[in-house]
Structure 1
């Protein structure tokens, strides 16, 4: 397994400096955001897909710093009703094309979420079977989602993408093992798998080690990010709608690996990944707003080097 970084974590820096920081940290890989929910700080998708010279410059900058691309990321909501969903799907299509042009086979995405009925203008996330109308909403959402994902899968295959790594997250149709398996069965083949990010599993109440074992056949990418449960959870539950910058009053926070779960847990997580046959990227996603960026990245790299299986 190789250490890498989601370069959105270095969005304040141009590519040259971001790549140098990765080199200084001793990282080997980068995951590049291409749009949708990513600000795409280091990727001009339209320029790169149209200009072979721009692609060569991108690869040269990375190579000069000893870096390879682990995956492209275009996480967004391809199932959003109306024009927004069309725009997100267009970014995904261009990301598939760029992956082909760069010789990459893995794209990280989220499943997205439709509205609750044909007239809805915004998505609706159902996490309970009551009141009774929730079941009707879920039936509609799967009926709406499957054709879209079959189309996305066909487009990805046309561009040689072998793995779409779906990240489990709230406000998504696919957020756990069961829902991923359902979408896999509807779309067919082995294109769809998981981008295993333990942080979201923590706050949603799952066990990332058990998730890894259940999906050992389709762990296509891994994000490294931790969650710390805060005292406010005792009164307010883990269903928290406060913004991530309101960390002092939240029920849980994204934190640097080791700040929510200690080195023993991360050692067990990486050992489980190895036992599942995973030997890909460990892509650090820095979203800890409680400490300075440089300190967070150094702590994450240090912990991972400490717990990496030999």
Structure 2
């Protein structure tokens, strides 16, 4: 496995300045925003697809620093009921897949999206309870009419370009658990897999080690994010896991994102990394910084330091003791 970073934390720096910074910290791979919510500050798909010279310069900037690109990321909502929003997210995905193929990047990360409650809806609708029965009926309609058809077609599009789709299991979107991930993968094909982020498992009450084993058994982990979550017991008892307080209201939230090691101890993170090795994941562990108590520099630096202690990087070799 390699230690990497999701570069959007450095959107205030130029591309080459950001690459220099992360290389100096000792990471080996970069995940680059190519549209959607991460933005496209460091990577302009339209420009790179249209200009072979700019594409070569882009690749050289990464490779000359001893880095690789683990994924392009364009997290959006291609199933949004407002057609303009859905189209923009879809276009970002298509261009990201096309660019990933040209860059020999094996994964494009995104969200599954979430439809509305009908073709006439204005906003997404995320059912989280089976009763009243309206919610179960809505969920069936969303999956059968929107989610499966979209990803069956676009999973094939990605596969035809030799690219895998890393869907981040994130609340507010239709695919947010190992179970929903496997449901989509079974229907839409093996190009579809998870960009697994433990932080989103913890707040849902899912053990990330168990999630790794469940998904890993099916070869369904295409990429991995390293981010932690801290739960505030009192606020959790007040507001529950679906707490709607803003992420900025940290004193009142039931849970909040933290840098690696500040929500769970390093033994827990060692168990996660070991589980990844156990199921055969031998790719990038990409640090994502969304810690509201630390600067980008401090949060990222501490994550690098903490993960370096538990990363398993060398090939196992022969079990001489067996």
Relative to the length of structure 2, the TM-score reads 0.93
Q: 2:319 aligns to what?
A: none
Alignment of 1:236-255 (within 5 A): 236-255=239-258
Judge which range, 113-122 or 228-237, deviates more: 228-237
How far apart are 1:78 and its partner, in Å? 1.0
Q: 2:222 aligns to what?
A: 220
Q: 1:179 aligns to what?
A: 180
- Gap regions ≥5 residues in structure 1: none
- Gap regions ≥5 residues in structure 2: 315-322
- 1:306 counterpart = 2:300: no
**Partners of 1:196 and 1:247 in 2: how far apart?**
24
**Partners of 2:9 and 2:59 in 1: how far apart?**
19
Judge which range, 257-266 or 62-71, deviates more: 62-71
How far apart are 1:4 and its partner, in Å? 0.5
- 1:272 counterpart = 2:275: yes
**Partners of 1:263 and 1:105 in 2: how far apart?**
29
Q: 2:44 aligns to what?
A: 44
**Partners of 1:170 and 1:275 in 2: how far apart?**
27
Q: 1:102 aligns to what?
A: 103
**Partners of 1:64 and 1:73 in 2: how far apart?**
22
How far apart are 1:200 and its partner, in Å? 0.4
Q: 2:231 aligns to what?
A: 229
Judge which range, 152-161 or 281-290, deviates more: 152-161
**Partners of 2:107 and 2:296 in 1: how far apart?**
27
Residue 294 of structure 2, aligned match among 291, 295, 303: 291
> What secondary structure, in the 3-state scheme, does the structure 2 residue paired with 1:232 have?
helix
Q: 1:261 aligns to what?
A: 264
Alignment of 1:1-310 (within 5 A): 1-81=1-81, 82-143=83-144, 144-161=146-163, 163-188=164-189, 190-216=190-216, 217-230=219-232, 231-309=234-312
How far apart are 1:63 and its partner, in Å? 2.0
CA RMSD of aligned residues (A): 1.2
Relative to the length of structure 1, the TM-score reads 0.96
